[in-house]
Structure 1
Amino acid sequence: MSTRAAERAWCVVVPHHGTGARLARHRLAAELAPIVTPALLADLVAVLAELVGNAVRHADPLPGGVIRVSWRLRTAHDGQRILLRVTDGGAGVGPRIRPADRDAADGRGLHIVSGLASRWGVERDGLGQSVWAEFDPVPTTRPDLVVAG
Protein backbone atom coordinates (compact mmCIF):
# COMPACT_ATOMS: atom_id res chain seq x y z
CA MET A 1 0.00 0.00 0.00
CA SER A 2 1.41 3.38 -0.93
CA THR A 3 0.36 6.78 0.26
CA ARG A 4 0.65 10.18 -1.26
CA ALA A 5 0.51 13.55 0.36
CA ALA A 6 -2.54 15.75 0.52
CA GLU A 7 -1.87 19.48 0.36
CA ARG A 8 -4.02 22.51 1.12
CA ALA A 9 -3.10 26.17 0.99
CA TRP A 10 -4.71 29.39 2.16
CA CYS A 11 -3.91 33.03 1.44
CA VAL A 12 -5.50 36.06 3.07
CA VAL A 13 -4.82 39.76 2.84
CA VAL A 14 -5.08 41.77 6.05
CA PRO A 15 -4.66 45.47 6.84
CA HIS A 16 -1.19 46.77 7.71
CA HIS A 17 -2.56 47.65 11.11
CA GLY A 18 -2.85 46.04 14.53
CA THR A 19 -6.19 44.55 13.56
CA GLY A 20 -4.43 42.64 10.76
CA ALA A 21 -2.76 40.30 13.25
CA ARG A 22 -6.09 39.57 14.95
CA LEU A 23 -7.81 38.87 11.64
CA ALA A 24 -4.99 36.58 10.51
CA ARG A 25 -4.97 34.64 13.80
CA HIS A 26 -8.73 34.12 13.73
CA ARG A 27 -8.71 32.94 10.11
CA LEU A 28 -5.83 30.52 10.67
CA ALA A 29 -7.47 29.12 13.80
CA ALA A 30 -10.83 28.70 12.07
CA GLU A 31 -9.30 26.87 9.10
CA LEU A 32 -6.84 24.64 10.95
CA ALA A 33 -8.62 23.84 14.25
CA PRO A 34 -10.45 20.85 12.75
CA ILE A 35 -7.24 19.55 11.16
CA VAL A 36 -4.30 19.96 13.58
CA THR A 37 -3.76 19.19 17.24
CA PRO A 38 -4.64 21.91 19.76
CA ALA A 39 -0.97 22.18 20.83
CA LEU A 40 0.20 22.71 17.26
CA LEU A 41 -2.59 25.20 16.62
CA ALA A 42 -1.49 27.23 19.66
CA ASP A 43 2.09 27.32 18.33
CA LEU A 44 0.92 28.30 14.83
CA VAL A 45 -1.26 31.12 16.17
CA ALA A 46 1.58 32.43 18.37
CA VAL A 47 4.09 32.42 15.50
CA LEU A 48 1.66 34.01 13.05
CA ALA A 49 0.84 36.72 15.58
CA GLU A 50 4.54 37.52 15.96
CA LEU A 51 5.21 37.58 12.22
CA VAL A 52 2.24 39.81 11.40
CA GLY A 53 2.90 42.02 14.42
CA ASN A 54 6.51 42.48 13.29
CA ALA A 55 5.36 43.33 9.76
CA VAL A 56 3.01 45.99 11.14
CA ARG A 57 5.61 47.48 13.49
CA HIS A 58 8.76 47.29 11.40
CA ALA A 59 7.93 47.03 7.68
CA ASP A 60 6.15 48.95 4.99
CA PRO A 61 2.84 47.64 3.67
CA LEU A 62 2.30 46.12 0.27
CA PRO A 63 0.45 48.33 -2.24
CA GLY A 64 -3.04 49.00 -0.92
CA GLY A 65 -1.84 49.18 2.70
CA VAL A 66 -1.98 45.43 3.27
CA ILE A 67 0.03 42.39 4.35
CA ARG A 68 -0.35 39.01 2.64
CA VAL A 69 -0.55 36.01 4.97
CA SER A 70 -0.47 32.45 3.72
CA TRP A 71 -0.11 28.97 5.08
CA ARG A 72 0.26 25.58 3.50
CA LEU A 73 -0.55 22.24 5.11
CA ARG A 74 0.95 19.08 3.67
CA THR A 75 -0.23 15.82 5.18
CA ALA A 76 1.64 12.60 4.47
CA HIS A 77 2.32 9.29 6.14
CA ASP A 78 4.76 10.90 8.60
CA GLY A 79 2.40 13.66 9.77
CA GLN A 80 1.65 17.26 8.94
CA ARG A 81 4.18 19.83 7.72
CA ILE A 82 3.03 23.44 7.86
CA LEU A 83 4.57 26.53 6.31
CA LEU A 84 3.47 30.03 7.41
CA ARG A 85 4.45 33.05 5.29
CA VAL A 86 3.91 36.77 5.91
CA THR A 87 4.69 39.12 3.02
CA ASP A 88 5.04 42.87 3.44
CA GLY A 89 6.61 45.78 1.60
CA GLY A 90 9.96 45.33 3.32
CA ALA A 91 11.98 47.41 5.72
CA GLY A 92 15.38 49.06 5.76
CA VAL A 93 16.76 46.40 8.10
CA GLY A 94 15.60 42.80 7.74
CA PRO A 95 14.26 40.75 10.63
CA ARG A 96 16.90 39.30 12.91
CA ILE A 97 17.07 37.84 16.39
CA ARG A 98 18.57 40.34 18.75
CA PRO A 99 19.46 40.12 22.42
CA ALA A 100 16.51 41.11 24.56
CA ASP A 101 17.04 42.89 27.83
CA ARG A 102 15.23 41.09 30.62
CA ASP A 103 13.25 44.23 31.43
CA ALA A 104 12.56 45.28 27.83
CA ALA A 105 8.94 45.51 26.73
CA ASP A 106 9.72 44.05 23.29
CA GLY A 107 12.44 42.27 21.32
CA ARG A 108 11.45 38.67 22.01
CA GLY A 109 9.22 37.95 19.01
CA LEU A 110 11.74 36.18 16.80
CA HIS A 111 13.00 34.24 19.83
CA ILE A 112 9.45 32.89 20.12
CA VAL A 113 9.31 32.12 16.39
CA SER A 114 12.69 30.37 16.55
CA GLY A 115 11.66 28.36 19.61
CA LEU A 116 8.33 27.15 18.24
CA ALA A 117 9.05 26.65 14.52
CA SER A 118 11.43 24.03 13.13
CA ARG A 119 13.09 26.77 11.09
CA TRP A 120 12.38 30.27 9.81
CA GLY A 121 13.86 32.69 7.34
CA VAL A 122 13.47 35.74 5.14
CA GLU A 123 13.14 35.99 1.36
CA ARG A 124 13.31 39.28 -0.53
CA ASP A 125 12.28 40.17 -4.05
CA GLY A 126 11.64 43.39 -5.93
CA LEU A 127 8.25 43.87 -4.27
CA GLY A 128 9.11 43.35 -0.63
CA GLN A 129 9.96 40.58 1.78
CA SER A 130 8.44 37.38 3.11
CA VAL A 131 9.21 36.00 6.53
CA TRP A 132 8.37 32.32 6.79
CA ALA A 133 8.27 29.70 9.52
CA GLU A 134 8.08 25.97 8.91
CA PHE A 135 6.87 23.28 11.28
CA ASP A 136 8.13 19.72 10.73
CA PRO A 137 5.77 16.77 10.62
CA VAL A 138 3.66 16.19 13.68
CA PRO A 139 1.09 13.44 14.16
CA THR A 140 -2.16 14.14 12.38
CA THR A 141 -5.57 14.37 14.03
CA ARG A 142 -7.21 13.65 10.68
CA PRO A 143 -5.85 10.41 9.21
CA ASP A 144 -8.45 10.71 6.45
CA LEU A 145 -6.32 13.52 4.95
CA VAL A 146 -3.68 10.95 4.01
CA VAL A 147 -4.75 9.67 0.63
CA ALA A 148 -4.15 5.97 -0.03
CA GLY A 149 -3.08 5.22 -3.55
Structure 2
Amino acid sequence: MLDREESGPRPLALDLTEEVPPLVQVRRWMGSALTDLTEDELGDCLLVVTELVANAYDHGEAPRRLRVYRSAHPSTVRVEVDDAAPGEVVVGRSRLSTDRGRGMLLVQNCGSRWGVERHEDGKTVWAEIDCKSPGDLG
Protein backbone atom coordinates (compact mmCIF):
# COMPACT_ATOMS: atom_id res chain seq x y z
CA MET A 1 0.00 0.00 0.00
CA LEU A 2 1.36 3.39 -0.95
CA ASP A 3 0.55 6.03 1.61
CA ARG A 4 1.23 9.77 1.81
CA GLU A 5 1.18 9.83 5.61
CA GLU A 6 4.47 10.76 7.26
CA SER A 7 4.43 7.61 9.40
CA GLY A 8 3.41 5.32 6.52
CA PRO A 9 5.49 3.66 3.86
CA ARG A 10 7.41 5.81 1.44
CA PRO A 11 5.80 6.50 -1.93
CA LEU A 12 6.67 4.50 -4.98
CA ALA A 13 9.16 6.79 -6.73
CA LEU A 14 10.91 6.81 -10.08
CA ASP A 15 13.70 9.17 -11.08
CA LEU A 16 13.15 10.20 -14.68
CA THR A 17 16.32 10.43 -16.74
CA GLU A 18 17.46 13.23 -19.01
CA GLU A 19 16.28 11.21 -22.00
CA VAL A 20 12.56 10.74 -22.42
CA PRO A 21 11.69 7.33 -20.98
CA PRO A 22 9.44 5.15 -23.10
CA LEU A 23 6.04 5.95 -21.63
CA VAL A 24 5.08 2.29 -21.91
CA GLN A 25 7.76 1.53 -19.30
CA VAL A 26 6.44 4.25 -16.96
CA ARG A 27 2.89 2.89 -17.41
CA ARG A 28 4.05 -0.69 -16.78
CA TRP A 29 5.94 0.45 -13.67
CA MET A 30 2.87 2.20 -12.30
CA GLY A 31 0.48 -0.58 -13.26
CA SER A 32 2.55 -3.11 -11.34
CA ALA A 33 2.00 -1.06 -8.17
CA LEU A 34 -1.74 -0.69 -8.60
CA THR A 35 -2.86 -4.24 -9.31
CA ASP A 36 -5.99 -4.10 -7.12
CA LEU A 37 -7.71 -1.30 -9.04
CA THR A 38 -10.60 -1.85 -11.41
CA GLU A 39 -9.80 -1.70 -15.12
CA ASP A 40 -11.40 1.77 -15.40
CA GLU A 41 -9.56 3.12 -12.33
CA LEU A 42 -6.24 1.78 -13.58
CA GLY A 43 -6.92 3.26 -17.01
CA ASP A 44 -7.52 6.68 -15.46
CA CYS A 45 -4.34 6.41 -13.37
CA LEU A 46 -2.26 5.38 -16.39
CA LEU A 47 -3.66 8.21 -18.50
CA VAL A 48 -2.88 10.73 -15.75
CA VAL A 49 0.69 9.48 -15.27
CA THR A 50 1.27 9.51 -19.03
CA GLU A 51 0.12 13.10 -19.37
CA LEU A 52 1.99 14.42 -16.33
CA VAL A 53 5.27 12.75 -17.33
CA ALA A 54 4.91 13.85 -20.96
CA ASN A 55 4.28 17.43 -19.82
CA ALA A 56 7.35 17.35 -17.58
CA TYR A 57 9.45 16.48 -20.65
CA ASP A 58 7.67 18.81 -23.07
CA HIS A 59 7.56 21.86 -20.82
CA GLY A 60 9.78 21.16 -17.79
CA GLU A 61 13.47 20.81 -17.05
CA ALA A 62 15.63 18.14 -15.43
CA PRO A 63 15.79 16.80 -12.85
CA ARG A 64 12.41 15.09 -13.00
CA ARG A 65 10.87 12.65 -10.55
CA LEU A 66 7.63 10.69 -10.41
CA ARG A 67 5.95 9.64 -7.15
CA VAL A 68 2.79 7.63 -6.56
CA TYR A 69 0.94 7.58 -3.25
CA ARG A 70 -2.01 5.40 -2.31
CA SER A 71 -4.42 6.03 0.54
CA ALA A 72 -6.86 3.39 1.76
CA HIS A 73 -9.83 5.29 3.18
CA PRO A 74 -10.95 6.94 1.07
CA SER A 75 -9.11 5.05 -1.63
CA THR A 76 -7.15 7.58 -3.64
CA VAL A 77 -4.14 7.40 -5.94
CA ARG A 78 -2.02 10.55 -6.02
CA VAL A 79 0.47 11.03 -8.85
CA GLU A 80 3.16 13.70 -8.46
CA VAL A 81 5.72 14.74 -11.06
CA ASP A 82 8.53 17.14 -10.18
CA ASP A 83 10.53 19.20 -12.63
CA ALA A 84 12.92 22.11 -12.27
CA ALA A 85 11.14 24.62 -14.54
CA PRO A 86 9.24 27.46 -12.89
CA GLY A 87 6.80 27.81 -15.83
CA GLU A 88 3.04 27.92 -15.54
CA VAL A 89 0.82 24.93 -16.19
CA VAL A 90 -1.71 25.90 -18.83
CA VAL A 91 -4.90 23.94 -19.46
CA GLY A 92 -6.05 23.55 -23.06
CA ARG A 93 -3.16 25.34 -24.79
CA SER A 94 0.29 24.22 -25.86
CA ARG A 95 3.29 26.32 -26.78
CA LEU A 96 4.53 23.41 -28.93
CA SER A 97 1.77 23.28 -31.53
CA THR A 98 -1.87 24.20 -32.12
CA ASP A 99 -2.96 20.56 -32.32
CA ARG A 100 -1.70 19.81 -28.81
CA GLY A 101 -2.57 21.06 -25.34
CA ARG A 102 -5.26 18.68 -24.21
CA GLY A 103 -3.16 16.77 -21.67
CA MET A 104 -4.16 18.75 -18.60
CA LEU A 105 -7.79 18.66 -19.74
CA LEU A 106 -7.52 14.86 -19.67
CA VAL A 107 -5.91 15.00 -16.22
CA GLN A 108 -8.65 17.32 -15.02
CA ASN A 109 -11.37 14.98 -16.33
CA CYS A 110 -9.82 11.70 -15.12
CA GLY A 111 -8.81 12.96 -11.70
CA SER A 112 -10.87 14.28 -8.86
CA ARG A 113 -8.37 17.06 -8.07
CA TRP A 114 -5.11 18.40 -9.46
CA GLY A 115 -2.77 21.26 -8.76
CA VAL A 116 0.71 22.71 -8.79
CA GLU A 117 3.00 23.18 -5.81
CA ARG A 118 5.84 25.62 -6.34
CA HIS A 119 9.12 25.14 -4.52
CA GLU A 120 12.63 26.51 -4.59
CA ASP A 121 13.80 23.94 -7.16
CA GLY A 122 10.86 24.16 -9.57
CA LYS A 123 7.39 22.69 -9.22
CA THR A 124 5.37 19.57 -8.54
CA VAL A 125 2.32 18.94 -10.68
CA TRP A 126 -0.03 16.47 -9.01
CA ALA A 127 -3.35 14.80 -9.59
CA GLU A 128 -5.56 12.57 -7.45
CA ILE A 129 -7.81 9.82 -8.71
CA ASP A 130 -10.59 8.54 -6.47
CA CYS A 131 -10.91 4.75 -6.47
CA LYS A 132 -13.08 2.20 -4.77
CA SER A 133 -11.50 0.68 -1.71
CA PRO A 134 -10.54 -2.97 -2.27
CA GLY A 135 -13.29 -3.99 0.18
CA ASP A 136 -15.84 -2.00 -1.85
CA LEU A 137 -15.35 -4.14 -4.96
CA GLY A 138 -17.95 -6.73 -5.08
Q: TM-score range by the shorter chain?
A: 0.7 to 0.9
Structure 1 residues 27-84: Cα deviation after superposition (integer angstroms, max 9, x where no partner): 101111x22111111011001100000000111111xxxx2100111112xx411111
> Cα RMSD over matched residues?
2.5
3-state SS in 2 of match to 1:94: coil
Q: Which of 84, 88, 91 is the matching residue for 2:79?
A: 84
Query: Which of the numbers 123, 130, 139 marks the counterpart of 2:132?
Result: 139
TM-score by length of 1: 0.75
- Identify the structure with bigger relative contact order (alpha carbons < 8 Å, sequence gap 6+): 1
**What SS is found at the alignment partner of 1:107?**
coil
Q: TM-score under structure 2 normalisation?
A: 0.81
Q: Which residue of 2 aligns with 1:113?
A: 107
Q: Specify whether residues 99 and 113 from structure 1 end up closer, same or farther in structure 2 by C-alpha distance, changes over 3 A only.
A: same
Structure 1 gaps of 5+ residues are 144-149
What secondary structure, in the 3-state scheme, does the structure 2 residue paired with 1:135 have? strand
Query: Which blocks of at least 5 consecutive residues in structure 2 are unaligned?
Result: 4-8
Higher share in strand:
1
Residue 45 of structure 2 is matched in structure 1 by: 44
Task: Give me the identity figure in percent.
Answer: 25
Q: Tell whether the 8 Å contact from 1:14 to 1:23 is kept in structure 2 after alignment.
A: no
Larger Rg: 1
Q: How many residues align?
A: 128
Would the aligned equivalents of 2:92 and 2:103 in 1 still touch at CA under 8 Å? no
